[in-house]
């Protein structure tokens, strides 16, 4: 059906173009209109939720006009688009971000005040959109912000989970998970009931011959409908407003259901509907872990198939030849979760569009790029062949064919190496056989990237080494992660943003973060330092109030705030931190009152969710709370030590916490090859004594526990906090940028990690004596029933200390002494903070997106004119 308005009537549309409000009066009119019409309320029953709703609707209307215009312009110009496929988008709140990005927050503030509301209270009414677990999902959200800000034609594709990451409550010191139903009122999404795709599961494959050609036809099984929900993504200081399309599952209203319904089988037709809706019901709450559940595979195919149908439909509208597909479309796979997209596109091209296999495969591989985010073996996706066969029978055949052709080329290139075929096969010949998704993603993409320099080096020499030999090094690259300075500085820390703007020639730095380097000229400016320190203090006061309100504990904002907020994971080592806190407590207890007076007061702040099935992570949370319960009411230590666990850490809480940190902890076990340390970080001087140890060319690390990059480290430094960390992930690049005198590094290097673990297993494993005392104290019952924590202690004492808590303990404690000492010299501390911020330009996600655009996507920005 032609839905376009005929030429003669278009004048009436143009005459009535909607122009959004630009001043306070215009804004107030819109708010009142929405309260009184859209919400059907009045000034007599307008609470903060209603004020939030109306304000959001007023801003949404503004976004929509730019959004429509952006989409029209992109369609008209028919330029290449980027599609970012991610199972997670950890967006947080939208209103504050929208107000800042369109540059009308001040107007809204004044307008709301006229109408009887404080803007902070209104912003706080919004529920976080928490469709992600941690770093991977937040990275996707930062990338969307940068794509729009840089005017790239780009869409995100994801799942519209009815329940995002669970809400965490702490009850009696334990984590309790509560469902997060966030869709009650969500003004930021537009249901597109007219944009639906039927998604097939199960069934069988039949061969059919038509026009002398044999084709495979996938028949039978069941159909689930995907419905599109669109979310506008505004860029900062640009009209470009991109689209995030999230798919929701629904029973297909096909003939079959009607028959059931009419024949009186009402219950089973409702049950079918519920089963269909289950697909997009809930986000899997695991971070860095794949559990191989059938429903998860269903989610993956459902989302990938709907997205590809949508992308192909859009491409076909322009009636271009198929070979131009990669000139129009770049698809980025956020980890292996969307890898089935490779198979699905091949299926569409061969089975449905009738292209030759080789022609189709060339198109497919030119279209996709794959980002790897971890080398943790338990996070690498593998699916049992039997499960794929059952759910997606045609896809399994295509995977086997992809593998066959791939292995044939490998065999040609390495005729004398039988073992390489076994090693690189997409099908692992185990019991049961498994599909190795990362290998499929590599074979089906033209570029593969890691997310930090060290991580990218590591994947090329360990888990993907054979593929570098097969394809050559050019297929592999690095794009070091980044964060958006709009949310993580301007929105989270408006006063610091304003102060920086006053020294850097206005707010341009928010679009070109390298302009921060101008701060260097002002490091010695006394007044500037004073204002900087005042802002930090005010942010700490704000956090102290939150701590008081939520935990009842009073903390002193003048104390050193030491923060570790991230998902709870043994490799991230919150246990090392809490053992260090206990050590500090014991040290304070052993002092005389006179000695105590010389100590630096400290608040240790933790936050983060444990995966519901991760028992050890939950024990760690319990220990932190148990230590807090004892320490916080001990008058001997008073203000010298407080231990806080902040409930339900999420994006909006991070926006309050990051600006309030003095020092933050990024202390995962190092797990990299020494060779790389020598090659790629020569700037780390030998004054960091641990670098001098070892120095042999060891075997490549295969079972290391390091994370890939880490991104919260960037948020903390950008907000004028210092960090304590291991030589792991992006800490290394941060050190290179800000200089090693501005970061507290500690711990063993990765080249020692293998040997240390080995010695734990086979040699006498002596525990650090200070850590031993900490364990003894726990076992005495000082922090509650010792049995509750016996597994955590046994992991170190008896089970090989895989995460090297004991090996790093001394270095960690010593380095914290250096932190205390450095903090005493407030003037110098602030100078370090300013110097660090001045060097953070590299870590903007704008730089990441420009690198992806140039090296992987080959896309150009498209500027949309303002209304």
Q: Which residues bind ligand GPW (CB under 6 A)?
A: 133-136, 139, 287-288, 335, 373-374, 379, 451, 481, 707-711, 729
Q: Is 566 a catalytic residue?
A: yes
Is 866 catalytic? The answer is no
- Measured between alpha carbons, how far is 155 from 89 in angstroms, rounded to an integer? 12
Q: Which residue has the tokens 């008058």?
A: 635
- In the set 70, 367, 711, 844, the catalytic residue is 711
Q: For the chain, how many residues are written?
A: 867
Q: How far is the CB of 480 from ligand GPW (least distance, A)?
A: 10
C-alpha to C-alpha distance for 55 and 110, rounded to whole angstroms? 12
For the record, the structure tokens of 326 come out as 């990669």
Angle at 707 between CA 333 and CA 849, to 5 degrees: 40
Q: Is 567 a catalytic residue?
A: yes
Helix (H, G, I), strand (E, B) or coil at 250: strand
What's the rounded Cα separation, in Å, for the pair 247 and 230?
9
| Pick from 748, 739, 740: nearest CA to 672 | 748
Cα dihedral across residues 184, 190, 195, 201: positive or negative = negative
Task: Pick between residue 158 and residue 710 the one whose CB is nearest to ligand GPW.
Answer: 710
Determine which one of 446, 490, 618, 715 is catalytic.
715
Instruction: Provide the minimum distance between the beta carbon of 137 and ligand GPW in the complex, in angstroms, as a whole number.
Output: 7
Bridge partner list, 41: none
By C-beta, is 196 or 288 nearer to ligand GPW? 288
Q: In degrees rounded to 5, what are phi and psi of residue 135?
A: -55, -45
The nearest distance, CB 124 to ligand GPW, in angstroms, is 26
Q: Is-cis flag, bond preceding 432, omega within 30? A: yes
- Segment holding 10, helix H or strand E: helix 7-15
Are residues 113 and 42 in contact, defined by beta-carbon separation less than 8 angstroms? Answer: no
Q: Does 715 participate in catalysis according to the annotation?
A: yes
Q: Which is nearer to ligand GPW, 515 or 745 (CB)?
A: 745
User: Minimum Å distance from CB 720 to ligand GPW?
Assistant: 21
CB of 288 to ligand GPW, least distance (A): 4
Q: What is the spatial distance between Cα 743 and Cα 556, in angstroms, rounded to a whole number? A: 24
Q: What's the rounded Cα separation, in Å, for the pair 61 and 98?
A: 11
Specify the 3-state DSSP secondary structure of 535.
helix
Q: Of 165 and 424, which has the nearer Cβ to ligand GPW?
A: 165
* Closer of 59 and 143 to ligand GPW (Cβ): 143
Q: Which residue number, 382 or 765, has a Cβ lying nearer to ligand GPW?
A: 382
| Smallest distance from ligand GPW to CB 335, Å | 4
Least distance (Å) between residue 501 CB and ligand GPW:
28
For residue 592 the two structure tokens come to: 């005389």
Comparing CB distances to ligand GPW, the nearer of 385 and 730 is 730
Q: Give the count of alpha carbons within 13 A of 754, CB side only.
A: 14
Least separation in angstroms between residue 216's CB and ligand GPW is 32
Cα(339)–Cα(368) distance, rounded to whole angstroms? 10
Distance CA 404, CA 398 (A): 10
Q: Would you report the helix, strand and coil content of the chain in percent, each value rounded to 5?
A: 55, 15, 30
Q: How far is the CB of 654 from ligand GPW (least distance, A)?
A: 14
Other CB atoms closer than 10 Å to residue 761's CB: what's the count?
A: 12
Select which of 109, 347, 373, 447 is catalytic: 373
Closest C-alpha among 432, 435, 454 to residue 443: 435
Cα 307 to its chain centre, rounded Å, is 20
- Give the Å distances, CA to CA, from 131 to 186, 191, 287, 333: 14, 17, 13, 17
Instruction: Let me know if 80 is a catalytic residue.
Output: no
Q: What is the nearest approach in angstroms of ligand GPW to the Cβ of residue 723?
A: 15
Known catalytic residues are 373, 566-567, 572, 711, 715
């Amino acid at each position: 059906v032609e839905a376009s308005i005929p030429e003669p009537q278009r004048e009436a549309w143009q005459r009535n173009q909607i122009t959004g409000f630009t001043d306070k009066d215009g804004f107030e009119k819109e708010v009142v209109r929405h309260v009184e019409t859209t919400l059907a309320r009045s000034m007599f029953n307008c609470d903060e939720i209603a004020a939030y709703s109306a304000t959001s609707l007023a801003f949404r209307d503004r976004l929509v006009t730019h959004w429509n215009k952006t989409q029209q312009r992109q369609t008209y110009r028919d330029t290449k688009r980027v599609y970012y496929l991610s199972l997670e988008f950890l967006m947080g709140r939208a209103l504050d971000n929208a107000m800042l990005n369109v540059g009308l927050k001040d107007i809204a503030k004044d307008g709301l005040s006229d109408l009887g509301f404080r803007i902070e209270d209104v912003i706080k009414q919004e529920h976080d959109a928490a469709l992600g677990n941690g770093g991977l999902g937040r990275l996707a959200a930062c990338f969307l912000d940068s794509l729009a800000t840089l005017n790239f034609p780009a869409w995100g594709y994801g799942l519209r989970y009815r329940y995002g990451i669970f809400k965490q409550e702490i009850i009696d010191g334990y984590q309790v998970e509560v469902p997060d139903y966030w869709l009650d009122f969500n003004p930021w999404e537009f249901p597109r009931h007219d944009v639906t795709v039927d998604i097939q599961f199960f069934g069988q494959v039949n061969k059919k011959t038509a026009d002398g050609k044999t084709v495979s036809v996938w028949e039978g099984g069941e159909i689930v409908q995907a419905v599109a929900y669109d979310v506008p993504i505004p860029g900062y200081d640009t009209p470009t407003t991109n689209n995030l399309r999230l798919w929701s599952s629904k029973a297909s209203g096909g003939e079959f259901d009607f028959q059931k319904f009419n024949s009186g089988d009402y219950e089973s037709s409702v049950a079918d509907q519920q089963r269909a809706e289950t697909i997009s019901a809930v986000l899997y709450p695991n971070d860095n872990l794949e559990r191989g559940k059938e429903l998860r595979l269903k989610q993956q195919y459902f989302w990938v198939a709907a997205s590809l149908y949508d992308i192909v439909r859009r491409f076909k509208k322009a009636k271009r030849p198929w070979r131009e597909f990669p000139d129009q479309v770049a698809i980025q796979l956020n980890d292996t979760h969307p890898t089935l997209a490779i198979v699905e596109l091949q299926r569409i091209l061969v089975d449905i569009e009738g292209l030759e296999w080789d022609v189709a495969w060339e198109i497919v591989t030119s279209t996709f790029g794959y980002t790897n985010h971890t080398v943790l073996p338990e996070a690498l996706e593998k699916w049992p062949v039997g499960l794929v066969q059952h759910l997606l029978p045609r896809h399994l055949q295509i995977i086997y064919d992809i593998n066959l052709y791939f292995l044939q080329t490998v065999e040609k290139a390495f005729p004398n190496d039988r073992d390489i075929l076994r090693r690189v096969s997409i099908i692992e010949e185990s019991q049961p056989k498994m599909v190795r998704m990362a290998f499929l993603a590599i074979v089906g993409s033209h570029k593969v990237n890691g997310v930090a320099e060290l991580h990218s080096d590591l994947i090329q020499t360990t888990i993907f080494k054979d593929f570098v030999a097969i394809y050559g090094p050019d297929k592999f690259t690095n794009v070091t992660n980044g964060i958006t300075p709009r949310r993580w500085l301007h929105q989270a820390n408006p006063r610091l943003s304003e102060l920086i703007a006053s020294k850097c020639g206005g707010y341009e730095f928010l679009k070109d973060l390298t302009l921060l380097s101008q701060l260097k000229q002002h490091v010695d400016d006394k007044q500037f330092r004073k204002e900087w320190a005042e802002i930090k203090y005010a942010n700490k006061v704000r956090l102290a109030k939150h701590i008081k309100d939520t935990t009842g504990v009073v903390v002193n904002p003048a104390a050193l705030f030491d923060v570790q907020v991230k998902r709870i994971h043994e490799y991230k080592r919150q246990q090392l931190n809490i053992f260090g806190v206990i050590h500090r407590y014991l040290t304070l207890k052993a002092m005389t009152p006179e000695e105590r007076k010389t100590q630096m007061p400290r608040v240790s702040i933790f936050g983060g969710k444990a995966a519901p099935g991760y028992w050890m992570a939950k024990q760690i949370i319990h220990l932190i709370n148990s230590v807090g319960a004892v320490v916080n009411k001990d008058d001997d230590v008073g203000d010298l030590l407080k231990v806080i666990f902040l409930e339900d850490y999420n994006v909006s809480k991070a926006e309050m916490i990051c600006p309030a940190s003095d020092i933050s902890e990024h202390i995962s076990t190092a797990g990299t090859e020494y060779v790389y340390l020598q090659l790629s970080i020569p700037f780390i001087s030998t004054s960091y004594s641990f670098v001098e140890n070892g120095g042999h060319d060891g075997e490549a690390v295969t079972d290391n526990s390091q994370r890939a990059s880490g991104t919260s480290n960037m948020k903390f430094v950008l907000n004028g906090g210092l960090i304590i960390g291991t030589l792991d992930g992006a800490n290394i690049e941060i050190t290179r940028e800000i200089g090693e005198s501005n970061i507290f590094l500690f711990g063993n290097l990765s080249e020692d990690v293998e040997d240390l673990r080995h010695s734990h297993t086979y040699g006498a494993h002596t525990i650090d004596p200070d850590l031993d005392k900490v364990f003894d104290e726990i076992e005495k019952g000082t922090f509650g029933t010792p049995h509750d924590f016996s597994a955590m202690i046994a992991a170190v004492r008896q089970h090989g200390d895989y995460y090297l808590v004991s090996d790093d303990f001394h270095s960690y404690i010593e380095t914290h002494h250096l932190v205390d000492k450095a903090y005493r010299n407030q003037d110098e501390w602030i100078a370090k903070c300013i110097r660090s911020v001045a060097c953070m330009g590299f870590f903007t996600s704008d730089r990441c997106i420009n690198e992806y655009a140039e090296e992987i996507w080959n896309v150009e920005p498209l500027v949309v004119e303002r209304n």
